[in-house]
Structure 1
């Protein structure tokens, strides 16, 4: 069964978009705060607190795993109490307050503790926030709404590293002082949330988690999760694009520009993808997005000048912008409106777990066998996902 809820469409699009814009600004300031820290964190761990590359991987793996597990719990809680904003507030507030404590870290264990605290915040807020986003706008405009939110979020991710570099280069701040400075945009995010974001969900209802889970997993939502999981299991992250760019001759000094091209393409593609999904159907746009990823994967097999590395990065960035926008926007069509928090939690758990598998396996294949094995594996998972999403597209309507 495909669920087509009206959200707050009857209140008028402008009112709904104010909530979307406010949540987008919250994400903008939060991502600026986070990327100020995370861009410096690998160097900080390796050079100042006695960590190794293995420790860095351990920290990231534990932090992200905890975040994805918590999304299921927080999403279900927001459905049960029909209040999204308190959990969203708690998550953003925790992340804003905890990140400056990186400045006090004396060992990698301290860094792990702070990183876990930040990811707890992300885990608590993400599913309720996406449910609130979907409830703030009518079904016909939900793709554009998620595109706008994703664009603002990604702009923050671009501003953060620039701000961190500016503070170090022009104001001679140390890495620890930049960590402290990250509190300012973090608190700005909380202020926007408290002042401008309004609650949309209805009255609390008494239900049991297992019964809610059973309702969510009815209809075609399990198939959607399978398709997303299969695709994500082969969808490696941007780090491997940077490795390929380096192999093509892009110097270490220019590698950040390759990452910048990914972010720019990501930002530019989010809103158009959302608008197209509202017009033609979200499943169809996801099929196209999977096709763009397949193109970037096959491009890894070819050789060229360093400029070719930037071209691969741009294509890859378009894929990220389309998929990270539309996979979130498609969820409300597959779950009951009052259970969107639980639905988003399950979506993030499946996608996140599969991404962890993908990056671990792709790294192993790249190192032990070669890039041909990586492209063969990712091509197989992507083609399978295209077939599955095409099946869903034929049974849905825009």
Structure 2
């Protein structure tokens, strides 16, 4: 019995020391920023579709606004990543991006037309595109102390808590008030908290690069072959990874789940995403790059379950979709940090995010077209294009093993 207390005390001290680590504190602080930020814009995204419709937008306009906003946000990551490397103004770019990203949401309450609301929705995505590469570079410095997979996993888990809470808050507001504008006004609170915690983080850790302990000596003049192969492979996974909007459309069309239950499925997927990020992030630190092959296999499996299965199979497919999303968010960001020189890490994240986002947009568009012809075609495309990424990941693994030997 005394031995149990000794073990428990040892575990407690280990985790207490872990939490005292400055790198962990920084990761958690930035995770809290993401938690409040996700509450803001994920809460908004849960109602922007019907809000635009009420303001007079057509279905085509709604689809264009959502798709174009995402595409523009991802394209901007290339330029913001390069800018952050050239200026080293990681905090300034991150803060500007968050201000644009978050303040556009409550302003939607003042939109008098669907065109104004559409512009604000696109501006919100632009803000996210500006901030992501710089923020991830700063996080990568801290993650080098605790393990990139673990660090990014913690951040993603906190991020997804916000992604769950935001839509639930809006649902409660609508239930008691029924007014979309009031819903957007309520989202000003988490937006303000996100910016407040962000500024506190900036004050406490003005130089996150000092948290970097594993300086990787890579050629700063350009990215190596393994990096470019990795970008291509990740782009293939993105192209075959169906957006939840298409999944929800399918569920509603075939009446597999009730309209009220579909948002709950999304919340469940986001919860699985957060847990998956922690688990796979930790596995990445322990097992290395090879774990990405398992992620690719899981990602390739969700489409047959979601689009061809019945109630229980589709539910399992949503779980697989959530697992894959969380694993990608933690492992892929970790891999970029490991494979890129510290001097060009902002550009590395920018290039990766741009290609990943464009691939996802193009793949989603193609799968939407395939869906109108045959669901089977969609499933075949989704599975095959993701499976093609596996031999590329294997070749990257061989390159990395060769480099380690040399």
TM-score w.r.t. length of structure 2: 0.87
The answer to whether the aligner puts 1:190 opposite 2:195 as a matched pair is: yes
Q: CA deviation at 1:294?
A: 1.4
Partner of 1:97: 103
The residue number in structure 1 matching 2:265 is 258
- Partners of 1:23 and 1:106 lie apart in 2 by 34
Cross-structure match for 1:393: 397
Q: 1:61 aligns with which of 56, 63, 67?
A: 67
Counterpart CA distance in 2 for 1:12 and 1:21 is 9
CA separation in 2, counterparts of 1:70 and 1:176? 29
> Residues 223 and 114 (structure 1 numbering): CA distance in 2 closer, same or farther, change over 3 Å?
same
Q: Give the drift of 1:201.
A: 5.5
Q: Does 1:166 align with 2:167?
A: no
Q: Which residue of 1 aligns with 2:371?
A: 366
Aligned with residue 273 of structure 1, among 271, 280, 286: 280
* In structure 1, distance between residues paired with 2:319 and 2:283: 20
Q: Which residue of 1 aligns with 2:44?
A: 37
For 2:71 and 2:152, the matched residues in 1 are separated by: 24
Aligned to 1:308: 313
Residue of structure 1 in register with 2:230 after alignment: 224
Flag structure 2 segments of 5+ consecutive residues without an equivalent: 1-17, 211-218
TM value normalised by structure 1: 0.88
Instruction: State which drifts further: 351-360 or 160-169.
Output: 160-169
Match of 1:384 among 385, 388, 391: 388
Secondary structure in 1 aligned to 2:78?
helix
* 1:265 and 1:317 in contact (8 A); partners too: yes
Q: Structure 1 residue runs of 4+, over 6 Å off?
A: none
Describe the shift of the 1:115–1:80 C-alpha distance in structure 2 as closer, same or farther (beyond 3 A). same
When residues 311 and 137 of structure 1 are mapped into structure 2, their CA distance, relative to the original with a 3 A threshold, is: closer
Do 2:220 and 2:341's aligned partners in 1 also have CA atoms closer than 8 Å?
A: no
Relative distance call for 1:231 and 1:249 in structure 2 (3 A) is closer
The aligned counterpart of 2:11 is none
Q: CA RMSD in A?
A: 2.3
Aligned residues: 375
What residue in structure 2 maps to residue 292 of structure 1?
298
**1:138 — aligned with what?**
144
Segments of structure 1 that go 5 or more residues without pairing to the other structure are 1-10, 204-212
Do the aligned partners of 1:97 and 1:183 also contact (CA within 8 Å) in 2?
Answer: yes
In 2 relative to 1, CA 153–12 (structure 1 residues): closer, same or farther, beyond 3 Å? closer
Q: Give how far 1:394 is off.
A: 2.7
1:206 corresponds in structure 2 to none
- Residues 261 and 232 (structure 1 numbering): CA distance in 2 closer, same or farther, change over 3 Å? same
**Deviation sequence 1:103-140 (CA, Å, 0-9, x none):** 11122210122112212211110000011100123266
